[in-house]
Structure 1
Amino acid sequence: MANKKGGLGKGMSSLFGANNVSKSAVEHTKSATKEPTATENVVQLNLSAIKPNPFQPRRHFDETKLQELATSVQDSGVLTPIIVREDGKSYQIIAGERRVRASRLAKLTTIPAIVRQVDDDTMAAVALIENLQRDDLNVIEEAQAFDALMTRLSLSQAQLAEKVGKDRATVANALRLLKLPENVQTLLQDGDLSMGQARALLGLKKKSQIDKVVATIMARGLNVRQVEALVKQINESGDEPAASEKPQISPFIAAVATQLEEKFGTKVKVNTATKGNGKIEINYVSNDDLSRILALLNIEVD
């Protein structure tokens, strides 16, 4: 992500300055995520008692990177304590959700933690700003974080753009994506729809036509310029988009599907997206059938 801040404290000071929130709020937020001090007690908490930050905007975590972290945790343990606050008989994460997820993958039962007293406003600010400073936040998560910060801090788009170090158009375009139907936002998050294609959809005069246009995009593999042209044509004519044609399967993909079906002895579907990525779906009819397929892949499940 462009204009990434150098550190959480600096980002907090920028966001909470300029008469939006008192200086003490900045200090509370910075102190909530500061490194553990020598005088603080590190306790071992049961992972089963730990819950995510309720204000966490991130919904998708890179499974490959989490698995790598889990391997490190298995070898060396959790070296840096997570930071939490009490919530009744459980605890909410202030900082360290990736460490918690990796520890669960590593089959640990406890994790080192420091318990601090933090209010809701500080929790929200930590989660939102910390995530905006990451470079792997997807466009919908980024837009949701922008929207939440604007609401919580009563900021205009221009004020928010200045404080997160982005131009106003970038913020405005991101926020507009939240006007798309949830199913279209999911396609955008999963990489099945590009940001350019999604922005073109927002140009439709009749929002009820979005789903049909999306179906056409997926079926025909339309690029951004073609989507823009289709939207313009629909707006000018007032017509519904033409019925989606059945996507043409390339000989290569068809051959791949056939070979996979022969190997696994079951129905295999190879779905391709507009950006060259895709998904492979392998059907199974029972747990025994699934075990058979896993054995063919040399995968052992305890």
Structure 2
Amino acid sequence: MATRKKGGLGKGIDALIAPSVKKEADKEKIVEKVVEKVVEKPVEKIIEKVVEKPVDVRMKIDEIEPNRMQPRKKFDEDALQELAESIKQYGLIQPIVVKKNNDYYEIVVGERRWRAARIAGLKEVPVIIKEYDNKESMEIAIVENLQREDLNPIEEAEAYRRLIDEFGLKQDEAAQKVSKSRTAVTNALRLLKLDERVQKMVIDDMISGGHARALLAIEDKEEQYGMAMTVFDNKMSVRETEKLVRGYLKKLEEKDSDEKTKKKDFSQMETIYGQLEERMKSIIGTKVAIRSRNYKKGKIEIEYYSNDELERIIDLIESVKQVG
């Protein structure tokens, strides 16, 4: 069963928060490299309109708000607490990237650090102020989270969907923006076809993205959710899940085959019954219907339209009995 990494503090933070205090010169070099890696490189790759020289300042933490378009929705509380303790000891060394939004500043990159800084009780935080539009902010947030592997598979898929639906990008364009293959984006988007309960299980780390992709082969939503619970309850691996799904699909195929055979047999019997009805009609001289309950049982209905006709039919049947 998939488990989230709770020990790590993010690629940038791990480099900064060490068991022993490093020299200031080394610390500054590390900060420079981390900021360049996490912030500047993705920006250079996907953003055309940027401020020529970012402003690095300290800002009151209450003047900053989360980005409503942030693709990441779930934050590990234990990891936030761990990061907050490190911030208390070392301070927030890596700046938060923000943009002006009316009367406040909105986070573009660094919401996890901002949340941890609030927990740590910081009143001010270092920020880099840049000018991005909504599309650019979304792209940067996705890239930054993907680089840190912070998004769960459903959050990642939702982020791609928003790039495509809200900003009019094609799948290959969205893939290019976030340095992914089109196949990777397509496979991620397929997860959104899962039953919402199964998606929630992925978000809550009850099952992994690998488990979820295996379950996509099951179209029936109730069966899909039921099997997801089976996988979770039995702590099944992805391989075991794939085997379970194959077994289900095989039984479903056999059942469908039986149903098709029954339908074919029923169709043939309908033809035979029709021929028998015509033969009996020609003998009795009135409408006859054969009602089949199954392949071996049923009833024959003979219609009559007057008492005289009923007497005639009874006489006909009795004559047949006498001949027998």
TM-score interval w.r.t. the shorter chain? 0.5 to 0.7
* Alpha-carbon distance, 1:57 to partner: 0.6
Helix, strand or coil for the counterpart of 1:83?
strand
Tell me what 1:214 maps to: 228
Contact 2:96 2:113 in 1 (8 A): yes
Query: Are the aligned partners of 1:59 and 1:141 in contact in 2 as well (CA < 8 Å)?
Result: yes
CA gap of 1:101–1:209, structure 2 versus 1, over 3 A, is same
SS at match of 1:205: coil
C-alpha distance in structure 1 between counterparts of 2:178 and 2:131, whole Å: 26
SS at match of 1:144: helix
- 240, 243, 246: which one pairs with 1:229? 246
SS of structure 1 residue aligned to 2:48: helix
CA distance in 1, matches of 2:185, 2:107: 28
CA 1:89–1:211: 2 relative to 1, 3 Å: same
User: How many residues are matched?
Assistant: 217
- The 5 A counterparts of 1:31-42 are 31=51, 36=55, 42=57
SS of the aligned residue for 1:226 comes to helix
1:54 aligned partner? 68
Shift of residue 80, structure 1, vs aligned partner: 4.2
- Mapped to 1, the partners of 2:111 and 2:169 lie a distance apart of 27
Q: Which blocks of at least 5 consecutive residues in structure 1 are unaligned?
A: 16-25, 239-302
Q: Which entry has the higher C-alpha Rg, 1 or 2?
A: 2
List alignment gaps of at least 5 residues for structure 2: 1-35, 257-324
Query: CA 1:155–1:130 in structure 2 vs 1: closer, same or farther (change >3 Å)?
Result: same
RMSD of aligned Cα (Å):
3.1
Deviation for aligned residue 1:7:
5.4
What percentage of aligned pairs have identical amino acids? 38
Distance, in Å, in 1 between the alignment partners of 2:80 and 2:166 is 30
Corresponding residue to 1:164 among 178, 183, 197: 178
Q: Is the 8 A contact 1:188 1:195 kept in 2?
A: yes
Normalized per residue, which structure has more helix? 2
Counterpart of 1:194 in structure 2 is 208
- TM-score, normalization by structure 2: 0.56
Distance 1:227 1:122 in 2: 43
- The verdict on how the C-alpha distance between 1:226 and 1:12 changes in structure 2, with shifts beyond 3 A counting, is same
Give, as a single letter, the amino acid of the residue that structure 1 aligns with 2:187: N
Q: What residue is the counterpart of 1:274 in the other structure?
A: none
2:140 paired residue among 95, 118, 126: 126
* SS state at 1:85 partner: strand
Give distance in 2, aligned partners of 1:168 and 1:99.
31
Q: Is the 8 A contact 1:128 1:149 kept in 2?
A: no
- Distance (whole Å) between structure 1 residues aligned to residue 202 and residue 75 of structure 2: 15
Matches of residues 1-302 of structure 1 in structure 2 within 5 Å?
Answer: 8-12=39-43, 14-15=45-46, 26-28=47-49, 30-31=50-51, 36=55, 42-45=57-60, 47-222=61-236, 223-233=240-250, 235-236=252-253, 237=255
Tell me if structure 2 keeps the 8 A contact 1:94–1:126: yes
Structure 1's 235 and 199: CA in aligned 2 closer, same or farther, altered over 3 A? farther
Counterparts in 2 of 1:151 and 1:72: CA distance versus 1, 3 Å: same
The structure-2 alpha-carbon separation of the partners of 1:143 and 1:232, relative to structure 1 and needing over 3 Å to count, comes to same
